[in-house]
Amino acid sequence: MKRSVKVIGIGAGNPEYVTVQAINAMNRVSVFFIPNKGAEKAALLRLRYEICERYIEGSNYRFVDFDVPERSKAGAYKADVEAWRGEVQKIYENLLAEHLNEDEVGAFLVWGDPTLYDGTLSILDRIEFGGGFDLEVDVIPGISSVQALAACHRVALNRIGESLTIMTGRQLAKGYPDGGGNIVVMLDSLGAFRELDGDVDIHWGAYVGTEDEILVAGKLREVCDQIDRLRAVSKDEHGWIMDTYMLSGNCRDGDT
């Protein structure tokens, strides 16, 4: 069964982050598959609808909502993620089989950019590898929270002649990279920055690009407690938090 699918990056929260390429792609879509991640993240669901209503001309399209299973955190991280992607794969297969005709174009609207810490492309690869579908996948890049964070703080991501490292909070908790250059940290639910020590600057942002955006910058040792409080208060208020931060400077050897 041949199916045409677009994976469209819609940016980090601000509807104006949606690119002209993404708008053109959305206007060629017949079916939008919209993930529902529960009441706590209802704002993300509404934003996807808002973007479609804002940029799509006409009404020759439809939405198909689907519930996203919660990932288990009981076992090893990679094993839990693999099991979760297997569950989502089955959901995607059912969506494609039941709601997308061969002469139609389906789309997944991905927060930020589809190529940066998002599993949609990997899951679609698994589906095609399994042989159930002949997929024609078109990927539209989006403005990620990494780019949006740097722009909001009016800083460059890189330093001249030095590397830029993008990593997760889970990776940072294992050790501060010693390769030099700036470090961007995403998906830090546990606040790994709290364990760092040394002459480190931080540019931090939560809900970047949205009306709830919060920005903090300064020496980590001076603003760490402030960021910690903001994260806790914001999570209580919204039920969820998405934050990203950039670290610059030197962490003391062995201190993570």
Domains of the chain with bracketed CATH: 2-140 (3.40.1010.10), 145-251 (3.30.950.10)
- Alpha-carbon distance of 215 to 207, in angstroms, equals 9
How many of the other CB atoms lie within 10 Å of CB of 19? 17
How do residues 119-169 score in pLDDT, each as one tens digit? Answer: 999 999 999 988 778 999 999 999 999 999 999 999 999 988 899 999 999
Rama region for 209: left / alpha / beta (φ>0; ψ in -120 to 50; rest): left
pTM: 0.92
Contacts of 185 (CB under 8 A, 6+ apart): 167, 168, 169, 172, 192, 193, 244, 245, 246, 247
Higher pLDDT, 253 or 90: 90
Residue 88 to residues 7, 85, 111, 216: CA-CA distances in angstroms? 15, 5, 17, 35
How do residues 83-124 score in pLDDT, each as one tens digit? Answer: 999 999 999 999 999 999 999 999 999 999 999 999 999 999
Task: State the pLDDT confidence band at 204, using cuts at 50, 70 and 90.
Answer: very high
Which pLDDT score is estimated for 72?
A: 82
